[in-house]
């Protein structure tokens, strides 16, 4: 799909499709080739997949979760006995959290 490697007899519409595909691959490489942007992408994908796969059980404000200063983590008990956990370093990147024991999901409101 590289624009510099196009054959001379390719129809114009197909050339445009190939150039567009090259641009998409280049953009993906720029995101996935950088550790920080890859982490953001992975977190967003995980959040999107969680809300698609499992409906949100409850919406919770971060302030309503328990704060553990030593571990720098917010936690909330799940009805199954497990916990929802959000580390301070993840707060701005995370909007949904899965229970560590069951499949229930909560959405963090800000």
| Phi and psi, residue 60, nearest 5° | -130, 140
Mean pLDDT of the chain: 85
Give the count of beta carbons closer than 10 Å to the beta carbon of residue 90: 15
What is the pLDDT at residue 51?
61
CATH class of 58-108: alpha beta
- Is residue 3 scored above 80 in pLDDT? no
Using CA atoms, how far apart are residues 29 and 11, in angstroms rounded to an integer? 27
Encoded tokens for 68: 């553990």
Using CA atoms, how far apart are residues 103 and 97, in angstroms rounded to an integer? 10
The model's pLDDT over 9-45, given as tens digits with 9 standing for 90+, comes to 778 788 788 888 888 998 999 988 998 888 888 877 7
Q: Say which residue, 81 or 55, is predicted with more confidence.
A: 81
Provide the pLDDT confidence category of residue 109 given band limits of 50, 70 and 90.
confident
What is the pLDDT at residue 2?
64
Domain boundaries of the chain, sorted by first residue = 12-51, 58-108
- The long-range contacts involving 74-78, CB below 8 angstroms and separated by at least 24 positions, are 76/106, 78/102, 78/104
The whole model's pTM is what?
0.52
């Amino acid at each position: 799909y590289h624009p510099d490697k196009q054959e001379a007899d390719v129809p114009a519409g197909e050339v445009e499709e190939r150039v567009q595909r090259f641009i998409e691959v280049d953009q993906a490489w720029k995101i996935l080739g950088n550790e920080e942007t890859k982490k953001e992408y992975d977190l967003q994908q995980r959040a999107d997949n969680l809300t698609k796969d499992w409906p949100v059980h409850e919406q919770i404000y971060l302030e309503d979760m328990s704060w553990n200063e030593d571990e720098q983590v917010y936690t909330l008990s799940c009805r199954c006995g497990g916990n929802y956990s959000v580390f301070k370093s993840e707060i701005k990147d995370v909007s949904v959290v899965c229970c560590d024991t069951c499949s229930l999901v909560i959405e963090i409101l800000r």
